[in-house]
Amino acid sequence: MNTSLRWGLGILSLLVLMAILPPPIDPVEQVDPAASLHRPPGTLLHQLELEDGRALLVDRLVVRGRDVEILHRGQIRTLPRASITNLNPDGSTTQSRRFLLGSDRFGRDIWSRMMVGARVSLLIAILAMALASTLGTLIGVIAGTSGPRLDNLLMRGVDAAMAFPSLFLVLGLAAIFQPSTAQVILLLGCTGWMGTARLARGELLSLKDQDFVVASRSLGQRRSIIVLRHMLPNALNPLMVNATLMIGSVILAEASLSFFGLGVQAPTPSWGNMVSEGRTATHLVWWSAFFPGLAIAVTVVAFNLLAEGLRQSLDPRTQSTRSP
Amino acid sequence: MASPLALALCLGCWDSSEPASGPIKIPSQPIAGGEIVVACASDIPGLNEIATSSSQTSTELILRMFVKLLDELPDYQDHPPTFEPRLATSYEWSEDHRTLTFHLRRDAVWSDGVPITAEDVRWTWQVQTSDQTVWENASMKEHITDVEVVDDYTARYHFTHAYPGQLVQANEGAILPKHAWGRLPLEQWRTNLPWFTDNLVVSGPFTLDSWTPQEEIVLKRNERYFEPGIPYLDRVIFRITPDPTSQLTQLRTGVIDYIRQVPAEAARQIDASPKTRLLTYWPAQFNPIIWNTKNPLFSEPSTRRALALAIDRQTIVDTLWYGFAKPAKSPVISSVWAHHKEMAPLPYDPEGARKLLAENGWTDSDGDGILDRDGERFSFELLTNIGNRERNDAAVMIQDQLKKIGVQVSPRPVEWNALDDRMSSGNFGAIIMGLGLDTSLDMSSFFKTDPEGKELNFGYYSNARVDEIFSEISTVLDIEAARPLLFELQEILQREQPHTYLWESQRLVGARSTLQGATPSSVGTYDQMRYWWIFPQD
Amino acid sequence: MARFLARRIASAFVLLLIVLSVAFFFTRLLPGSPAARSSMTSRLTPEQIEILRSSYGLDRPAVEQYFTWLGNIFFRWDWGPSFSYRQPAAQVLRQALPNTLLLGLATLIIQYALGLVLGVLTAHTAGGRVDNVLRGLSLSVFSIPSFWLATLAIFLFHERWHLLPAGGMASPGSTQVPLGERWLDLFHHLILPASVLGLLGGVMIAQYLRNNLVEVLDQDFIRTARSLGFSKKRILWHHALRNALSPLVQLLGLSLPTLLNGVLVIEVVFGWPGVGQVLFSACSARDYPLILATTAYGAILVIVGSLLSDLLQRFVDPRVRLEASP
C-alpha cells in the first residue's frame, strides 16, 4: 500500500464515520432561531422549555429565589422559575446546545448539518459517478468492439454531448423538473459520462490486437465472451482510477449547482448548498461557508489521493519508477 | 496543501473596524458636478419603454430620460398620493368627470431643441395603444377613447366613463418624441430596438452618454432640460453587476456608490460604517402565502385560518429580517392611509390551530405525527421561486412550525417561469409570493371572483360580499371616500384568509455617505435623481 | 491532408446539426412561454398575447418552426429576433462573444504556462520533497469549488489588499475609452477571473504532464540518452517534453467544454460581460432564439476548438499520420 492510497483511505474512512454517526443536534429543527442565529464556533446556549410550549435559547441563566434571570437575545430578563419546566434542582437546565462549528442563519448547528450533509453529498457523488461510469463504459465498450460504422456513430454522439454546453442543459432541466436530490444525481450522471466513454473505447481498441485477444478470437469464442471475460477485466484498472477521480469532480459540480440555486433543496443539507447559502454572509460570519467548503476540499483531496494511489498500485510500470 | 486553507482562514481574522476618520462634513448647499456609480443587476433591453418588455430597472432608468405629465409623490401615509406638475403645469376635470385637460409647460424642449407639444402627448397615446407595439400596460388605457390636441400646449383626454383611477391611468407612461421616433414604422418597433438608441431624443434631466452592453449604461446631464441648474450630477454610471455579493463588496470598497438592495444581514454594518449610509423605505408590496381554494385541503376558511394561527410570523420576521420588517396582516401595508390600524392581527396560537383543525375533522388517527381525514394526510407542497432567499427561508421555517401541529409541508423552490406557469394554471397547493399593490389600491384583480383565472386571483378565491365591495368601490370617484369599504374588505380577508400575510419588509438601499439628496421611495429607488448631488471627500 | 480536413469538417457540420436539433426541441419542452411571460409583472391581455405569439411564429407547429429556423440559419445566418432584447439574436451575441473569447484565451494561456512549469518541475523532482509539496498544493487548489475560490480571491485581492478590481471589464465610466488607452485597465480587470480559472485548470494540466513525463522518462530511448551522458535537464527539456507534448495538445481539445462551462460560471461571479450572462438572462426570459443561438455558438466554439487541436496534434506528433484516423 503506497502513501497516497494510505492517506486517501484514511481521510475517507473518517468522512464515512462522520456520515454514519448520529449528529449531536437535530440538523433541521429550528429552536428559537432569532436567539441562536449566526453564533460563532464554540457557543454554548442553554435551552429553556416554557410552560406554554415555547423554547428559549439563553446565553446565561442565574436562579434568584423564585425567579430566573436570563440573558436572551442580548437582553437581560427575568422569568418566574415555575414557568420553566426543565430546570434541575441545582438551577441548571437539562438541555443545552453547543455549536461546535457555529450556527447558521436559522440557529441550526453547522457541525450537525455537515454530518448529515456528508451523507447527502457522498451519496450523490457515488451514485452519480456510478451512473456516469456505467453509461460511459457501456457506450465506450460498444464503440470499441463493434464495427467502424457504429463506432463512428457513437463517438460522434459523444462529441455532440460534449459540445452541448452543460450549463444550458442544467438550467433547462431544472426548469422542467423540480430540483431534488434524485434530479441532481441524474443531472450529474448524465452530463459526466463522455470522458469515461472515450477512455473505455480507447482501452478496448488498444486491447483488440493484443495476442491473447487474437488467440481467443481464433479459438472461435463468441465476441461477447471475449469482451466480458478477456478485454474488460484488462481495461478495468484505468476505468477504476477514472471513476475515483470522477467522484471528486461530482462533489464540486454539486456545489456549483447549488450556486445557481439548482442543487439539493432546503431543508436537506448538502455541503454544496451550505457553502452557497453561507457565501452571501461570508464577510460577517465566516464559519457559515468556510467549514462546509473545507469539507468539500478535504473530500475531493481524499478521492484524488485515492485515485493516485490506485493508479500507482495497479499499474505495474509505475512501480519500477519508484526505485531510483 | 495547507496554504489555500490558511488563506481561507484569513476570513476568520477579518477585522470589521474601519480606519478611524473624522465625521464627514456635509456641505449645506448642493454642489453641482461629479459622477456616481449605481449598481444594477442586469442589463436593460432598450430605451423605448413601449417597445420593450419592461423590468423595474429599465422602467426606472428610462424615467430619468423621459418625463411624464405629472409625478406621483410618496405622500400616501394619511391620504391618497398627490400629484406634482412635471411636463404639465396644471390639469382640470370637466363637469361630468369624463374629460381631463392638461396644460403643458411652454419652456420644455426635446434635447434637439424641438418644443414638446400636445402633438407628442397624442402620438404617445396612439403608439401606446397600437396593436403593433403590444405595450404591456396598454390595458391601462382601455377607457381612454381619445386624446385631443386643443392647441400646442393643451391636451385633452376623453374617457368612456368616470372611475377612480382616471388620473393615474392617463398619466401612465412617459411622453415620447413624435418628430424623432415617429420616423420608424410601427411594424419595426418590436424587432429593431437599437434604432431608438441611435435616434435618441430625450425630455428628462439626463440623456444617454454611452452604453456598453452587459457592462454599463452611462447617463449625462441633458443641457436642455427645462429646470434651470438641474440635474446637479454630470454623469450617472449604471454598472451591471449581477452577483449581489459583489455589489455589496464594491459598495464597501468605494467602487460603487449606490445599490438598491442590501441583504438584511449586512444592513447594520452598512449603516454603521462612516463611508456608507443605509436608506430605507417601505415598498408597496405584500408577501402572502396564497392558498389554492380549489384544493380540498384549503377550501374551508377555518382551515386556512388554523394554518395562519400556527405560523409564528414574529419569529420569521426576527430571524430573516434583522429588525427591518414587521409581521403583516393585510395586503394594504401599514404605512398606507387605507391600512386598517384597529384590526387586531391574528395571534400565534398553535393550540387554537389544532382545535380548529380537529373541528374540521383533521386528527392524527394513525399516530404517525401527521393529521389525516378520511385517509388523506394533511401534506402539501409550499412553492417559492428559486433565488428569493427570504421566501425560501420562510418556507423552511413554516415547514418547521406547521410540523408542530401535525401538518407536513415540503418547501419547493421552483424556477420563475415554471412557477408562473403553475400559478396561472392553478396547479399548486400553496405559494409564497410577493405582490405589488400600487397607490390606486385596486385589489379587485387579486380577490374578485374569477373562475377562468385570467386575473391575479391565483387561488380562485370567491366571496359574494367581496365582489360587491369592489363594484361599490368602482363607483366612488374619490378613493379616500371608500375607506370604510376598504376596511371591511380587510376584515373579510383576515377572517377568511385567502392569503396569509407573512411580513411587510423595508427595502434596504446602500449609498455612499457623500451622496446627498437620494430619496428612494415606493415611487422608485432612483426617484428624484435630478436632485442628487455628491461632494468630494477629503 | 485535404481529405482528412474535408472529412473532419463534414463531421463537425453533422455534429452541429445534431446539437442544434436537440437544443431546439429541448427549449420547446421548457415550461412557460416567452409570449405569455409573467402573469404577475406584465398586464398583457389575451389578445396581445395572441398577436405576440403569431408574430414570433410560436402559433405554428413545432416541426414547421424547426425547419423555418434551421433554414434561416443555414441560408442567411439569421438566428431570429431575440424576444427580450428586441433585436437580432446574433447581434446580441456579437457584442458578448469577443469578451468571452478574451477571457477564455487568457485563461488558456495561464493554464498552460502554469501547467508546463509546474508539470516539468514536479517531473524533474519526481518522488522528492518538492514534488510532493507542489503536488499536494495543487491537489488542494483543485479541490476548491470555482465560485468559492473566486469569492475568496475577490475578498483578498480586492477588499483586503485593494490590488485588483472586483468585477467588470473596465473601470466605471471608461468602457468607451479607445482600447489602446485602456488596455492596462483591461488587463487589470482580466487578472482575477483568468487566474482563478487558470489556476484550477493549470494544476490539472501539471498533474497530467508530470505523469506523462515520468512515464516517458522511463522509456528506453531516454535511458539510452542518459547512459550516453546527457544531463537530466537536457533530457527533460529536449527529449521527454517533446514526446509528452502530443497528449497535452489532445488534452486541449478535450478540456474545451470544461473551460467554456467554467468561463460561464466565472462570468456571473465577476460580472464579466460575456456569453454566460447573456445565456443566463435569456434562459430566465424564455428567449428561445437567443438561448439557441448562445448554445450553438458555444457548440461551435467547442467543435472548432477540438478540430484545431486535432490538427495541431498531428502537427506536433510525427507518429500520428493525417490519413490514418477515422
What is residue A285's predicted lDDT score, i.e. its pLDDT? 80
Q: Does the beta carbon of C276 lie under 8 angstroms from any beta carbon of chain A?
A: yes
What is residue C43's predicted lDDT score, i.e. its pLDDT? 64
User: Residue B425 is part of a domain; what is its CATH number?
Assistant: 3.10.105.10
pLDDT tens profile A223-260: 778 777 777 787 888 888 888 888 888 888 888 788 77
A62 and A175 in one domain? no
Q: Is the pLDDT of residue B164 over 60?
A: yes
Is residue A14 one of the residues assigned to a domain? no
B307 and B443 in one domain? yes
Q: How far is CA B376 from CA B228, B373, B431, in A?
A: 70, 5, 21
Taking contacts as CB-CB distances below 8 angstroms, the residues of chain C near B214 are: 95-96, 99, 273-274, 277-278
Q: How many domains does chain A have?
A: 2
pLDDT tens profile A55-91: 889 988 888 888 888 888 888 888 888 888 888 877 7
* Residue B15 main-chain phi, psi, to 5 deg: -110, 120
A121 and A91 in one domain? no
- Of A79, A99, A119, the one marking the end of a domain is A99
Q: What is the mean pLDDT of chain B?
A: 88
Least Cα separation, residue A193 to chain B (angstroms): 26
Closest CB to C173: pick one of B137, B218, B454.
B218
What is residue C263's predicted lDDT score, i.e. its pLDDT? 85
Range scoring the smallest mean pLDDT among A31-40, A245-254, C138-147: C138-147
A270 and A182 in one domain? yes
**C-alpha to C-alpha distance for A194 and A133, rounded to whole angstroms:** 9
Is residue B492 one of the residues assigned to a domain? yes
Closest CB to A304: pick one of C27, C143, C254.
C143
Nearest to B502 by CA among B380, B388, B422: B388
Taking contacts as CB-CB distances below 8 angstroms, the residues of chain C near A256 are: 145-147, 265
> What pTM was computed for the model?
0.84
Cβ atoms of C102 and C301 within 8 Å: the answer is no
Cβ atoms of B101 and B158 within 8 Å: the answer is no
- Which of the two residues, A83 and B101, has the higher pLDDT score? B101
A299 and A184 in one domain? yes
Q: Cite the DSSP H helix spans in B95-134.
A: 118-128
The proportion of chain A whose per-residue pLDDT surpasses 90, expressed as a percent, equals 15
Question: Domain span at residue A120?
Answer: 110-319
pLDDT tens profile B343-386: 999 999 999 999 999 999 999 888 888 999 988 999 999 998 87
Q: Does the beta carbon of A289 lie under 8 angstroms from any beta carbon of chain C?
A: yes
Mean pLDDT of B15-29: 59
What is residue C125's predicted lDDT score, i.e. its pLDDT? 80
B79 and B112 in one domain? yes
A199 and A150 in one domain? yes
Q: Is the pLDDT of residue C118 over 60?
A: yes
Q: Does the beta carbon of C84 lie under 8 angstroms from any beta carbon of chain A?
A: no
Closest CB to B5: pick one of A53, A105, A294.
A294
Q: Is the pLDDT of residue C153 over 50?
A: yes
Chains that touch C (3 or more CB pairs under 8 A): A, B
- Of A52, A78, A99, the one marking the end of a domain is A99
Taking contacts as CB-CB distances below 8 angstroms, the residues of chain C near A255 are: 145, 147-148
Question: Domain span at residue B352?
Answer: 285-505
What is residue B199's predicted lDDT score, i.e. its pLDDT? 94
Mean pLDDT of C125-147: 79
B528 and B462 in one domain? no
For the domain C89-324, what is the CATH superfamily, name and number?
A: MetI-like (1.10.3720.10)
Task: Categorize the per-residue pLDDT at B22 as very low, low, confident or very high, splitting at 50, 70 and 90.
Answer: low
What is residue C182's predicted lDDT score, i.e. its pLDDT? 82
Look at strands B235-240 and B35-40 and give their pairing.
parallel
Taking contacts as CB-CB distances below 8 angstroms, the residues of chain C near B512 are: none
Q: Give the distance from CA C258 to its chain's centroid.
A: 6
How would you class B176 by CB atoms within 10 Å of its CB: exposed for 0-12, middle for 13-18, buried for 19 or more?
buried
What is residue C323's predicted lDDT score, i.e. its pLDDT? 41
Q: Is the dihedral of CA C90, C91, C95, C96 positive or negative?
A: negative
What is residue A220's predicted lDDT score, i.e. its pLDDT? 78
- Which of the two residues, B118 and A214, has the higher pLDDT score? B118
Contact C145 A252 (CB under 8 A): yes
Is residue A27 one of the residues assigned to a domain? no
Question: Nearest residue on chain B to C150, judged by CA atoms?
Answer: B246
Tell me the residues of chain A between 224 and 263 that have a Cβ less than 8 Å away from chain C: 248, 252, 255-256, 259
Q: Cite the DSSP H helix spans in B310-437.
A: 313-321, 350-359, 389-403, 416-424
ipTM of this predicted structure: 0.82
Taking contacts as CB-CB distances below 8 angstroms, the residues of chain C near A157 are: 18
Taking contacts as CB-CB distances below 8 angstroms, the residues of chain A near B393 are: 105-106, 266
Task: Categorize the per-residue pLDDT at C34 as very low, low, confident or very high, splitting at 50, 70 and 90.
Answer: low
Contact C143 A168 (CB under 8 A): no
B129 and B222 in one domain? no
Q: How many CB atoms lie within 10 A of CB A9?
A: 15
**C-alpha to C-alpha distance for C185 and A43, rounded to whole angstroms:** 46
B83 and B149 in one domain? yes
Is residue B321 one of the residues assigned to a domain? yes
What is residue C32's predicted lDDT score, i.e. its pLDDT? 63
Is residue A4 one of the residues assigned to a domain? no
- Of A71, A99, A127, the one marking the end of a domain is A99
Taking contacts as CB-CB distances below 8 angstroms, the residues of chain C near A301 are: 139-140, 143
Residue A88 carries which side chain, given as an amino acid letter? N
- Which of the two residues, A126 and C13, has the higher pLDDT score? A126
Range list of β-strands (E), chain A: 43-49, 55-58, 60-64, 67-72, 75-80, 95-99
What is residue B98's predicted lDDT score, i.e. its pLDDT? 92
Q: Give the distance from CA B262 to its chain's centroid.
A: 16
Look at strands B430-432 and B379-385 and give their pairing.
parallel
User: Residue B132 is part of a domain; what is its CATH number?
Assistant: 3.90.76.10
Cβ atoms of A240 and A314 within 8 Å: the answer is yes
Q: Does the beta carbon of C217 lie under 8 angstroms from any beta carbon of chain A?
A: yes
Least Cα separation, residue C44 to chain A (angstroms): 23
Q: Does the beta carbon of B361 lie under 8 angstroms from any beta carbon of chain C?
A: no
A305 and A203 in one domain? yes
Q: Does the beta carbon of B113 lie under 8 angstroms from any beta carbon of chain C?
A: no
Q: Is the pLDDT of residue C293 over 60?
A: yes
Least Cα separation, residue B414 to chain A (angstroms): 6
Q: Does the beta carbon of A259 lie under 8 angstroms from any beta carbon of chain B?
A: no
Tell me the residues of chain B between 464 and 483 that have a Cβ less than 8 Å away from chain C: none
Q: Is the pLDDT of residue B216 over 60?
A: yes
Is residue B493 one of the residues assigned to a domain? yes
Buried/exposed code over A281-311 (b: 16+ C-beta within 10 A; e: otherwise): bbbebbbbbbbbbbbbbbbbbbbbbbbbbbb
Contact A168 C142 (CB under 8 A): no
A240 and A185 in one domain? yes
Q: How many domains does chain B have?
A: 3
Range scoring the smallest mean pLDDT among A213-227, A250-264, A309-323, B206-220: A309-323
Q: Would you list the domain boundaries of chain C?
A: 89-324
**C-alpha to C-alpha distance for B495 and B330, rounded to whole angstroms:** 11
Q: Is the pLDDT of residue B13 over 70?
A: no
Could you tell me how many helices (H) and strands (E) chain C has, helices first? 12, 2
B367 and B293 in one domain? yes
A84 and A120 in one domain? no
Closest CB to B418: pick one of C32, C45, C170.
C32
A114 and A81 in one domain? no
- Which residue shows C-alpha cell 469539507? A295
What is residue A175's predicted lDDT score, i.e. its pLDDT? 65
Is residue B419 one of the residues assigned to a domain? yes
B262 and B123 in one domain? no
B269 and B299 in one domain? no
What is residue B10's predicted lDDT score, i.e. its pLDDT? 37
B217 and B85 in one domain? no
A168, A190, A258, A314, best to mutate vs chain C, most C CBs in 10 Å: A168
The grid cell for C10 is 463534414
The grid cell for C267 is 462570468
3-state secondary structure of B255: coil
Sequence-distant (≥ 6) Cβ neighbours of residue B137 within 8 angstroms: B128, B172, B173, C43
pLDDT tens profile B411-446: 888 877 778 888 888 889 999 998 888 888 888 889
Element (H, E) at C281: helix C275-285
B347 and B400 in one domain? yes
Q: Is the dihedral of CA B329, B332, B337, B338 positive or negative?
A: negative
Q: Is the pLDDT of residue C213 over 80?
A: yes
Mean pLDDT of B26-37: 87
Is residue A302 one of the residues assigned to a domain? yes
3-state secondary structure of B35: strand
A132 and A47 in one domain? no
pLDDT tens profile A281-310: 776 788 888 888 889 888 888 888 888 888
Task: Categorize the per-residue pLDDT at B198 as very low, low, confident or very high, splitting at 50, 70 and 90.
Answer: very high
3-state secondary structure of B231: coil
The proportion of chain B whose per-residue pLDDT surpasses 90, expressed as a percent, equals 55
Contact B192 C86 (CB under 8 A): yes
Q: How many A/B residue pairs have CB atoms within 8 Å? A: 86
DSSP string, C4-61: HHHHHHHHHHHHHHHHHHHHHHHHHHSSS-STT--TTT----HHHHHHHHHHTTTTS-
User: Residue A201 is part of a domain; what is its CATH number?
Assistant: 1.10.3720.10
Q: Is the pLDDT of residue B12 over 50?
A: no
Taking contacts as CB-CB distances below 8 angstroms, the residues of chain B near C30 are: 417
The grid cell for B480 is 379616500
A303 and A163 in one domain? yes
Cβ atoms of B305 and B289 within 8 Å: the answer is no
Is residue A105 one of the residues assigned to a domain? no
Least Cα separation, residue B497 to chain A (angstroms): 25
A201 and A151 in one domain? yes
Q: Does the beta carbon of A319 lie under 8 angstroms from any beta carbon of chain C?
A: no
Chains that touch A (3 or more CB pairs under 8 A): B, C
